[in-house]
Structure 1
């Protein structure tokens, strides 16, 4: 008894020793692991050993008990280029989850380092004992459940910032481009409501720029108020400072995007105007001599530019001043050079306008002379384009039988391009000197038609090459279905082309080529019927008056040479005839099979033992049915080829019918008389002459039966009986 008490006391001491060592090692391992993963442990955890403190309570870390006010773990909320994320990552299977799970596993493994006190226990390590303790397992599950719950709260907190996602998801440059066109971001409903025409552009006003920038400034102030740290369940800390700072920087980039555009707009507008004024003044102050057309055109060009931008430039200075004032409200100061330009350029622009007026008066006489020259050129061009139009109608490849359409198209294209270049130069000169250019309908019509002709002939060549490729296909390999599908596609593509080309011979020729090919392919498909025989090909050659040898080497080209599209009815009749004849051939074959195997049934005469023929319903029905079939065949209009054979069968079966009827009549009579004249002695005595005469008949009958006894086939039996 004393020994047992001593053993129990030793076990209790060992258990307390295990708990103490486990708690000490666990606390140290947690701190080391957190340092290794760059995570903060705000306060270490101690587990005092007391006898009154339950085992479960003494081992619960602060994650569950929340005995400390400072958080134990910390993660950082960061903003990447595409989304927000935690460092380390959270969620089941994440870095943080694996860290906690590893800590739990390491706590169990630590006891393997503790020496065992009891020598009588077979297990050398305490780890298995701890793993079997249900209290510890429940505590571990409770801890991991709390971790999962807290991570879910952290994810929900992260999702609360999704309303700002457009700041890092949208492309800033694309957003600005759309804003500059429409003055706002278009909704899907707006885009759909305008349909194919598209939303009309409405460039933004300065007020819209201000509203856009103010929205970012307001958002910036809102983000500044975000909390720097978020504590969840008192033990889990989220450091929001990286995310907050990144978001503030991003908002500033959006705001700067619009500010920078306004800055560039001001500087570019003033710099461009300054350069234009300098260049224009230099050119307009030059003296233009009479006959110097190049100088005159150059001066007229600058006069036109001044006129074109006069309205815009006259009203640009005040909006630029307003833009500069707006930028000042955002603490954006423009360089001194900009202010100088804004002060000096209005006066310089007015001076340029005065110079342009003076220059225009100076070149007016020269301008009048050049106007007359341009008008004469316009008249000459008008005459030339009408002449070219007439030649184009004659020489352009509008006919389908044109041997070299692309050569004609190239020649016409070069002439059209030359005339278009001439027209462009003439139009530029006319615009400078304010001369109206005649409407070049003839040249435009040629340009339109040559484009249509090019497309039409491209299709014509494609169709022709495709058909030529098909023509090399061997007869047995012709796939009419695929070829017909391609032809239908050609027809569909042809119908999609401009309706104007339908009046051209080239269109009609191509359309007929495709249609004729489809008709011929249909005829070829019919001729692929297995019922077609050599005699039918001969009939087809007679109908088309074209001779060819039908063999395995026959190609589609040989069949198309028959012009089958012109003989659709003949082909159809020949195919119909072949099908009907095939049916007749099948019937005749069946007759041959039936009667080559049809046998008589026999029975033994009871008194004489002679084998007699036995009447068969099958034989009678077959004979009658076959005679009806032959009668139907003989009335067909396609009987010509099989007339001789059908007539022969008709005669044979008719004869067979007669012979069978006569034979069975003779056989019945013999059976009746044999019992009288042979089987009855009284009758033989009373009628000796008749009996003697019947004996001769009896011998003849038995001889006939003897000779035909081994012939079982009906038709052979009857032929033997006849002869």
Structure 2
């Protein structure tokens, strides 16, 4: 189709040779020369068209081979663009070769002479006109994204030489220099992709002059919009589109494979302990975002590739846009490529792959939480809570943290990074931080062990100083002799404790030395010298006072006998006059318990002193069983009277409440709690008569609470309260401002339950009578409406029956009539007067 016109011209030239008629010799030679010249012209034209097409095919093939994810270590002169001296075969070189061939004697560029219908040779200036000056672009044109300039950021230094060995430090530094960070990795790819997109743009822009050259050769026009070449333009635009689709799909597939199956890591991340959790820098979310934005950058690069105007090979002009972020809008291949299903599917797969890599990275970081106790717990608080730990506990904890430290040091010395798919996770910083924390914990535990040991030594030293002071006074009487003898016995009893303490300190010192921590050798030497000094002084003191022991033993025996007589007198008084003798009177018993408790405390102190004297002087042990039995009885009585006193205190607090503010539920709960407490006591306590009296007291108060609720009835009047006061023998004012529960407690209503219930019952009946009389008063005084009806036989009216006029007659027969007799008689007199006046109305 493209060479149709040229073929027609060739056929026109060759067609006369097919006619069967005779040629003269002169005409035949001229015809043959013209045919040869037409054939040479057609062959030259066809050869040039094929050369241009091969160049176009080569450029499309170069586009297919562009790497949009260039991961090479070093790209030779990344900033060079196609057409430079370092770039591959340029289009100008091809054009030079094409121009040379076109100007050769065999293949001259034919053109049509307007004067003669014979092909002539084009001039040199006309030969170069289609492609002259189409050199490589030095930069992207205005309105396109600028290329990212490569930045060389130094890799972050991790760890310190004091924390790790020099070999691990050098290995970490080498790996850091070899593998870029994720930011450097993305910037590097984007920068190289920008260069690659400029290459693609340059190759695409070179296709327009090539197509124009074909148009010039075939149709002798240079518009780029020849109607005869529309199909030709569409063909190469479709091939460009298919090339872009293939390019994007291949690159996305290769990058997806690299993310999951790369033999060498693409980039590295640093692991650090940040806050209260191990993390990577940058964070996992930022890594996923950077990789996904890289895909957006890839697709946005095709916004640089302009589309051709329909029916031509000229680029669509940019449109200037006002009030917009972008100054120009360019019709590009981006919209068509982004909506291709294969590309969309691959973008989704890459997003899922990135998410998978980030999840694996996060899962690896989470595994370091097994050391979380190193940074989550406060050292001082934990050690204060475990201040009473044994040496075994301390040593076990120090061994645990030493194992962590050794394990991590060995791991970092062997390999301070781990691969997670395409990511190299640098563990150096995180490992050194955890080692530092483990060391701090170990040192803190050791410091606490030293502190507790020194506290024990201080306590022991204070005890030795007290013994030394106890040995200083002279023995002049029984008391000083007993004190000295007691101190000497204390020293003898400390021998085993001292040996155990020395053994414990030796073990603690060995544990500290094992972990290369400060030892306790000085403290151990001081302990040994102090104990030897005190023990020698005690032996010397014992030898000095030994001759006086028999004399002071007799004096002590006499004091013990006197104390036994004192106890016997006290026991007689306790059982005959004490609280044990009056189980029915809890009030008096509570007052006596105070004095007897004090006496028991004093006797217990004296008893302890006498037992000590008997032990010191090897005297026979006295029998204190009667006293101990009495003391046990006294303890039971203390328990009983403690509940009684508690109940009395609550009654005093409740008694301050006004009668109008009575809350019976509070009283009921309070007494029920004490009743439950008494019921939980053992049988030997509940069998005492005092406990029975306490139970009666609590149950009586509980009954009183029920009576309080009934006394709250609205039927109670002042006359009823006065009657209740007379029954109980108490008097108090009835004013609501001063009437409190304490006055009710003083009445002891539980003792007058029957009389109280009778008064309440009578009050309720009187209330019914009051209500009946009030109804009569309401009917005859306020309403004053008499029901009148028409007589059946006589032309007159009569008064209808009034049922309420006889209610005063029924009320007067009640047993509780007396308080209301005056009111009732007054209402009866009014009824009689009404009966006298009624006939006058009729």
Work out whether residues 418 and 427 of structure 2, in 8 Å CA contact, stay in contact via their aligned partners in 1: yes
Partner of 1:228: 416
State the alpha-carbon separation in 2 of the partners of residues 649 and 142 from structure 1: 105
- Aligned pair in 2 of structure 1 residues 159, 390: CA closer, same or farther (>3 Å)? farther
Partner of 1:366: 548
Alignment length, in residue pairs?
596
1:173 to 355, 375, 383: 383
By how many angstroms is 1:173 displaced?
A: 3.4
Partner of 1:86: 279
By how many angstroms is 1:73 displaced?
A: 5.8
By how many angstroms is 1:446 displaced?
A: 7.8
2:715 is paired with a residue whose SS is coil
1:366 is paired with a residue whose SS is helix
Work out whether residues 270 and 425 of structure 2, in 8 Å CA contact, stay in contact via their aligned partners in 1: yes
1:238 is paired with a residue whose SS is strand
By how many angstroms is 1:40 displaced?
A: 6.1
Is 1:158 the counterpart of 2:375? The answer is no
State the alpha-carbon separation in 1 of the partners of residues 747 and 299 from structure 2: 95
State the alpha-carbon separation in 2 of the partners of residues 473 and 174 from structure 1: 48
Work out whether residues 604 and 612 of structure 1, in 8 Å CA contact, stay in contact via their aligned partners in 2: no
User: Which range is displaced more, 521-530 or 332-341?
Assistant: 332-341
Q: Let me know the Cα RMSD of the aligned residues.
A: 7.0
- Aligned pair in 2 of structure 1 residues 434, 85: CA closer, same or farther (>3 Å)? farther
By how many angstroms is 1:152 displaced?
A: 3.0
State the alpha-carbon separation in 2 of the partners of residues 282 and 592 from structure 1: 99
1:59-113 Cα shifts (integer Å, max 9, x gaps): 9899978589544462423276xx4322547466xx777888999999999999x
1:122 to 286, 303, 321: 321
Q: Map 1:399-410 onto structure 2 (within 5 A).
A: 400-402=586-588, 405=591, 409=594
- Aligned pair in 2 of structure 1 residues 593, 251: CA closer, same or farther (>3 Å)? same
- Aligned pair in 2 of structure 1 residues 373, 540: CA closer, same or farther (>3 Å)? closer
- Aligned pair in 2 of structure 1 residues 588, 576: CA closer, same or farther (>3 Å)? same
Is 1:555 the counterpart of 2:739? The answer is yes
2:269 to 74, 87, 99: 74
Partner of 2:175: none
Partner of 2:132: none
2:714 is paired with a residue whose SS is coil
Partner of 2:712: 528
**TM, length-normalised to structure 2:** 0.50
1:532-569 Cα shifts (integer Å, max 9, x gaps): 34554565466557677755567246656655433322
1:568-618 Cα shifts (integer Å, max 9, x gaps): 22221232233334345556666887897684665998xx9x57899xxxx
- Aligned pair in 2 of structure 1 residues 60, 515: CA closer, same or farther (>3 Å)? same
**TM, length-normalised to structure 1:** 0.57
1:22 is paired with a residue whose SS is coil
Partner of 2:755: 570
State the alpha-carbon separation in 1 of the partners of residues 483 and 336 from structure 2: 102
Work out whether residues 278 and 368 of structure 2, in 8 Å CA contact, stay in contact via their aligned partners in 1: no
- Aligned pair in 2 of structure 1 residues 295, 535: CA closer, same or farther (>3 Å)? closer
Work out whether residues 111 and 127 of structure 1, in 8 Å CA contact, stay in contact via their aligned partners in 2: no
1:530 is paired with a residue whose SS is coil
Q: Based on CA coordinates, which of the two structures has the bigger radius of gyration?
A: 2
Q: Map 1:89-108 onto structure 2 (within 5 A).
A: 90=283
2:147 is paired with a residue whose SS is helix
By how many angstroms is 1:160 displaced?
A: 2.0
Work out whether residues 671 and 702 of structure 2, in 8 Å CA contact, stay in contact via their aligned partners in 1: yes
Q: Map 1:299-698 onto structure 2 (within 5 A).
A: 301-302=487-488, 304-306=490-492, 308-310=494-496, 313=499, 364-390=546-572, 400-402=586-588, 405=591, 409=594, 413=598, 419-428=603-612, 430-435=614-619, 438=622, 463-464=647-648, 467=651, 475-489=659-673, 516-533=700-717, 536-537=720-721, 540=724, 543=727, 552=736, 555-556=739-740, 564-586=749-771, 599=787, 610=795
Is 1:24 the counterpart of 2:147? The answer is yes
- Aligned pair in 2 of structure 1 residues 334, 492: CA closer, same or farther (>3 Å)? closer
- Aligned pair in 2 of structure 1 residues 19, 225: CA closer, same or farther (>3 Å)? farther
- Aligned pair in 2 of structure 1 residues 353, 20: CA closer, same or farther (>3 Å)? same
2:557 is paired with a residue whose SS is helix
State the alpha-carbon separation in 2 of the partners of residues 483 and 376 from structure 1: 57
- Aligned pair in 2 of structure 1 residues 468, 287: CA closer, same or farther (>3 Å)? closer
For structure 1, list consecutive stretches of 5 or more residues without a partner in the other structure.
1-12, 185-203, 656-714
1:24 is paired with a residue whose SS is coil
1:329-387 Cα shifts (integer Å, max 9, x gaps): 77889788799999x99xx98x9999988986776543344433333333333333444
State the alpha-carbon separation in 2 of the partners of residues 270 and 543 from structure 1: 75
Work out whether residues 90 and 96 of structure 1, in 8 Å CA contact, stay in contact via their aligned partners in 2: yes
- Aligned pair in 2 of structure 1 residues 62, 273: CA closer, same or farther (>3 Å)? farther
State the alpha-carbon separation in 2 of the partners of residues 355 and 530 from structure 1: 87
Work out whether residues 512 and 518 of structure 2, in 8 Å CA contact, stay in contact via their aligned partners in 1: yes
State the alpha-carbon separation in 1 of the partners of residues 453 and 822 from structure 2: 108
Partner of 1:245: 432
Work out whether residues 41 and 71 of structure 1, in 8 Å CA contact, stay in contact via their aligned partners in 2: no
State the alpha-carbon separation in 2 of the partners of residues 542 and 587 from structure 1: 29
- Aligned pair in 2 of structure 1 residues 418, 490: CA closer, same or farther (>3 Å)? closer
- Aligned pair in 2 of structure 1 residues 633, 322: CA closer, same or farther (>3 Å)? closer
By how many angstroms is 1:281 displaced?
A: 12
State the alpha-carbon separation in 1 of the partners of residues 751 and 770 from structure 2: 30
